[in-house]
Structure 1
Amino acid sequence: MPMTPVSHRHTRRTLLAALACAPIWAFAGSAGQISVWKTPTCGCCKDWVKHLQDNGFEVTVHDVEDTSAVRQRNGIPDDYGSCHSAQIEGYALEGHVPAAEIRRLLRERPAAIGLAVPGMPLGAPGMDGPEYGGRRLPYNVYLIERGGAARLYQNYL
């Protein structure tokens, strides 16, 4: 029995129908893969991980007893330390860095070590839940340059 060739019109129609039925999120893709090192009991670290996931990042969590070795390996000066450390695409992230600034870092690709939000400022992602009473304090995101110097990257008021 001879085979009937498939028309281009039928192929396009089938493709368009399949695309119309496909979930939109399947085409959105991930914002990136982040590895996070945190202590097992830190609640604000878990909240920061959720912030990243809610903003499209794929997150791998490594529970460790002390994050200082990771911070040192990442090249973040102790003065810019926080409760968790992370890495994405060759950049270090220290503390409660907002997803928007991580996206900006990946867009701009500066010659730098990474970003840091020192300490645990109220209102930063992961430090903004109801357990903090809705309080928000100004905080800064710093770009840690090669050699350890830091400069203001973004201010949150």
Structure 2
Amino acid sequence: MKRLPRLLFALAVISPQVFAAAMPVTLYKSPTCGCCEAYVSYLNSNGFKVNAINRNDMDTVKTQYKVGKLESCHTTLIGGYVVEGHVPVAAIRKLLRDKPDIVGISAPGMPANSPGMGEMKPGTLTIYALTRQQSAKPVVFSVE
């Protein structure tokens, strides 16, 4: 059993895409959302294997996973974390690598410069931490 964590760590160091493929990803989305489909394609093209689940009750999903005011159109579960909205893969990999004590990360709203929403512009997208005790002022996780 001790070999599995070492193997997963080795895979993460050798190839982030191989590591991503080994980790289950569940994405909850509205059945009519085209940008959510584009984001699923983005994750798949970056080595993640996404199980997309259509839901007509996304407000319930967001409440269940404690997204709060940092909501977007879809909610993703990966590695024990919530990834809300159009978060770039670089931020997801940082989250999975650093393992901070937070609920997850979010690109709130539907930013035009995010994956699945048009041309990405590196260095312009603020990703926020979904903290256990959400405050009035969001905590920045990274800028991608």
TM-score by length of 2: 0.79
| Aligned-partner residue type, residue 61 of structure 2 | V
> Conserved in 2, the CA contact under 8 Å of 1:31 and 1:56?
no
Give 5+ residue unaligned stretches, structure 2: 1-14
1:117–1:140 contact (8 Å) kept in structure 2: yes
Q: Counterpart amino acid of 2:23?
A: G
Aligned-residue offset at 1:135:
8.2
Write the mapping of 1:7-22 to structure 2, written as runs, cut at 5 A.
none
Identity of aligned residues (%): 35
**Is the CA contact 1:34–1:86 (under 8 Å) kept in the aligned structure 2?**
yes
RMSD of Structure 2 on Structure 1 (CA): 2.2
In structure 2, the residue matched to 1:104 is 94
Deviation larger for 147-156 or 85-94:
147-156
Runs of 4+ that moved beyond 2 A: 134-139
> How many pairs were matched up?
125
Bigger Rg over Cα:
1
3-state SS in 2 of match to 1:70:
helix
Q: Distance in 1 between matches of 2:92 and 2:67?
A: 16
Structure 2 distance, partners of 1:113, 1:145, is 6
AA aligned to 2:109 is G
What's the TM-score, normalizing by structure 1?
0.72
